[in-house]
Chains A and B, each alone.
Chain A
């Protein structure tokens, strides 16, 4: 697609429920990143994919968080047993591995998650 697409754009869920967030990167972009942004804060790195593999999962805040990427394209971020502190905007970004040092990353519009 022309840009990075994230769905849903907004999600309200009850505490304890599981949620799945989706990211559809730009076609051909091999690198994919998930970030989290709490209200008024900077971006917190969660996980990085190169192709389908995730060499860096260091940012996942707990074992309730997991992510996968299939076919080198779409990625899903799953949060199990959601807690109120999980409320944030979850942002996905992609880049072409060869261009990441020249053209930066392209971000999606994010998913605003609210846990009530």
Chain B
């Protein structure tokens, strides 16, 4: 089942602009993670924010987490053509019997136009 739902589904911006993607989820989480995927193959982990954190930075990335609203946002500043990819949020939650599960949304397809 889908836990994280990204918004928008697709985003097209000019190089140098900022890109903001949002994610909503439904259940309690341990942490929320953002991944990037190029060309429909392997995912690359970008950033992880724990449930007791509200904001985190990594280079040009800024992630916020609002557990009261069950939402997160990913901001990419000063975008580059190389940032063109699909971005997924994923929630890490305990699913019982000693098992943790990372549940992904359907992703936001970002296109950065040179």
Which residues of A approach B to under 8 Å, CB–CB?
4, 31, 33, 35, 37, 39, 41-43, 45, 48, 50, 55-56, 58, 89, 91, 93, 100-110, 112
Contacts and interface: CB of A to CB of B under 8 A. Distances in A.
Given A91-B42, A104-B33, A109-B41, A56 B106 contact: no
A89 B45 contact: no
B101 A110 contact: no
A101 B42 contact: no
B114 interface: no
A106 B105 CA distance: 17
Contacts, number: 71
A103 B48 contact: yes
B31 A101 contact: yes
Nearest to B34: A104
B30 A105 contact: no
Given A56-B95, A101-B92, A43 B104 contact: yes
B2 interface: yes
A42 B31 CA distance: 19
Nearest to A106: B45
Q: Considering the complex of A and B, which 3 residue pairs feature the smallest CB-CB distances, nearest first?
A: A104-B45, A56-B99, A42-B106
A48 B41 contact: no
B40 A45 contact: no
A103 to B, nearest CB: 7
B25 to A, nearest CB: 13
Given A42-B105, A48-B100, A56-B97, A104 B48 contact: yes
B50 interface: yes
Contact of A50 (B48, B96, B99, B106): B99
